[in-house]
């Protein structure tokens, strides 16, 4: 007799759950007007370090590039590096090597510190 009551309660709960699911699926195509639209979750781009965008391309302070197989920092317009690091380009991923061979323009000392930390750590 106890099993009959438990079975009846379980069946009633299951029926209510199925009914709620059917009703929800019927109304799922309609968006309530009183709820604000949800913004999409941030993508991987939002998690990348953000460096300031410069309006004038030639307004950089430094350039980080390859110098004798190593990472070096040059002041704008200088052919002599101000800093040379022991980190060799051959130990970096290909993408980083290509960027450093072309040279990376740096617009602030904060960006310079962040980039150096990324490359030498």
Sorted by where each begins, the domain ranges of the chain are: 1-28, 57-120
Q: What's the rounded Cα separation, in Å, for the pair 74 and 89?
A: 16
The better pLDDT of the pair 95, 58 is held by 95
64 vs 41, higher pLDDT:
64
The two tokens of residue 104 are 């990376």
The structure's pTM equals 0.53
Question: What per-residue string of b and e applies to 65-86 under the rule 16 or more CB within 10 Å gives b?
Answer: bbbeeebbbbeeeeeebeeeee
The tens digit of pLDDT for each residue in 8-21 reads 545 454 455 554 54
Task: Tell me how many degrees the CA angle 89-83-118 measures, rounded to the nearest 5.
Answer: 50
- Percent share of the chain, pLDDT over 70: 53
Judge whether residue 22 has pLDDT over 60. Answer: no
Structure letter (DSSP) for residue 8:
H
* pLDDT single digits (tens) 46-80: 555 665 554 555 789 999 999 999 999 999 999 99
pLDDT exceeds 60 at position 108: yes
Calculate the alpha carbon distances from 68 to 88, 90, 107 in Å: 9, 11, 24
């Amino acid at each position: 007799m106890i099993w009959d009551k438990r079975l009846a309660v379980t069946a009633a709960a299951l029926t209510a759950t199925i009914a709620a699911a059917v009703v929800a699926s019927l109304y799922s195509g309609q968006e309530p007007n009183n709820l604000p639209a949800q913004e999409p979750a941030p993508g991987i781009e939002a998690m990348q370090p953000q460096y300031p965008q410069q309006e004038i391309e030639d307004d950089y302070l430094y350039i980080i590039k390859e110098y004798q197989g190593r990472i070096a920092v040059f002041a704008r317009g200088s052919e002599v590096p101000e800093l040379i690091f022991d980190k060799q380009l051959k130990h970096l991923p290909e993408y980083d090597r290509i960027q450093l061979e072309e040279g990376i323009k740096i617009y602030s000392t904060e960006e310079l510190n962040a980039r150096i930390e990324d490359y030498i750590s």
